[in-house]
Amino acid sequence: MTDNLSESNLCYSQSQSKIFCEIGRILTSSLNPKEVFNRVMKLIGEYFSPCNWSLLLVEEKTERLKFEIIMGVDATKLKKVYIEKNEGIAGWVCQNRKPAIVEDVKKDPRFSPRVDDLLNFKTSSIVCVPILNGSNRVIGALEMINKIEPAPKSAGPESPPVYSDKVDKPFTVLDMEILSAIGAFTGIAAENAFLHQKVKDLAMIDPLTDIYNRHYFNEVLKREQERVKRDYYSICILMMDIDDLKRINDHYGHLSGDKLICNITNILKTSIRESDVLARYGGDEFIILMPNAKTDEGKKLATRIDQMIIDWNKNIQSSDPMLGLSIGVYASGSSDLSMIIREADRELYLSKYFRKKHNDIVSTDQMRSYLHQNFSSEED
């Protein structure tokens, strides 16, 4: 009997070592938050054999718990279901920053049957632990429901698990302690992954306008160049420049200038197609990439933007600066995308020149370009 107990304890100790080694591997193998979570959930299922198990994350604004990953049940049924602050065992665990083990939910007043009712499911026992980040802040919870009997050793690896209806097979305190350690490791791994993702986002997003920056746009352009070579289609570039931004900053102040930049950004965001890529290209410059588009489509977009700016200016206060945007449009099927940008930039320069200097036209070529810039879209 003593030998059997020793052998059992040795197997259990080896099993614990294995799960912590696996957690360590997960911590160092990925900086993708979703991938980290999925690997942790797979590990929990293999080690503990729960009937259902889930990973919930705290929403910062509402402090509700959202089902991020659900295993063992149809996840679509809980897609829009939230656990309210302090609701049920998971809510209590997050609110009190303590793990909980419930051998019989019928005897625990903290248990909420709401999710059971939605799933037509019967919960018997629960173990739930908080997920803590490096700052010891609760960011979510890991929850396991109803332990199941593993398949017999004689069964093959593909054999389905044998469910136990016995009430005397609840989770143990040791299960809770190991899951708590997993929760702590998961919190640290998740924080590292989220921070990495945030750094990546900051590297591609303009902080003022919350649209892509020039660096990210150039990366998109490289990928688009390969598609142009492969599929032989035309792309269109709109290069844009805010009129008189320096004068506005000097006269109204930089906060007003920033507000004007954001207002123009909102107009551009509502003007483009879903497939178009909008970025802030410089201090007062924006750029739009229109994949699989020709010049006439670019000019129609430019006209739409112009009209939205005209409408905007009709509704501003007399004390506010007016929006103004010069737009250069150029399309080509060439895989030399840097050339397309140069030509779009040239068209922008001409547009800005003739918007400001239309009284200074001194040649036929200048007149032809001026008429093309200002009246061709109306003739279409």
Residue type, 318: S
| pLDDT (0 to 100) of residue 13 | 56
Asked if 355 and 235 sit in the same domain, the reply is: yes
124 and 181 belong to one structural domain:
yes
Q: What is the pLDDT of residues 341-363, one digit of tens each?
A: 899 999 998 887 766 655 555 56
Boundary of a domain, candidates 204, 234, 249:
204
Find which of 95-104, 187-196, 345-354 is predicted with most confidence, using mean pLDDT: 95-104
CATH of the domain at 41: 3.30.450.40
Higher per-residue pLDDT: 314 or 369: 314
DSSP code for 330: E
Looking at the structure, do residues 106 and 236 belong to the same domain, yes or no? no
Residues 91 and 126 in one domain: yes
Say if strands 235-242 and 277-280 run parallel, antiparallel, or are unpaired: unpaired
Domain end among 153, 187, 204: 204
- Are residues 198 and 217 both part of a single domain? no
Q: Judge if 184 and 292 occupy the same domain.
A: no
Q: Cβ(51)–Cβ(147) under 8 Å? A: yes
294 and 156 housed in the same domain: no
Distance CA(327)–CA(345), nearest Å, equals 9
Q: What stretch of H or E contains 288?
A: strand 285-290
Same domain, 113 and 228: no
What's the CATH code of the domain at 222?
3.30.70.270
Same domain? For 171 and 293 the reply is no
pLDDT reported for residue 213:
93
What's the whole-number mean pLDDT along residues 314-330? 89
At 327, is the secondary structure helix, strand, or coil?
A: strand
Angle at 324 between CA 321 and CA 325, to 5 degrees: 150
Mean pLDDT of the chain: 82
One domain for residues 238 and 148: no
Domain stop point among 204, 230, 251: 204
> What is the Cβ-side half-sphere exposure of residue 151, based on CA atoms within 13 angstroms?
10
Alpha carbons 325 and 284: distance in angstroms, whole number: 10
Of 57-61, 83-87, 319-323, 364-368, the range with the lowest mean pLDDT is 364-368
For 106-251, list the strands marked E by DSSP: 126-132, 138-147, 212-213, 235-242
Provide the residue range defining the domain that includes 79: 2-204
Could you write out the three-class secondary structure of 229-277? HHHCCCEEEEEEEECCHHHHHHHHCHHHHHHHHHHHHHHHHHHCCCCCE
24 & 173 share domain: yes
With bands split at pLDDT 50, 70 and 90, how would you rate the model's confidence at 367? Answer: low
Asked if the model's pLDDT at residue 223 lies above 90, the reply is no
For residues 190 and 136, give the distance between their C-alpha atoms in angstroms, rounded to a whole number. 13
Helix (H) or strand (E) holding 319: none
Number of H helices, E strands in the chain: 11, 11
Note whether 20 and 162 are same-domain residues.
yes
Nearest residue to 337 (alpha-carbon basis) of 198, 250, 217: 217
Domain count, the chain: 2
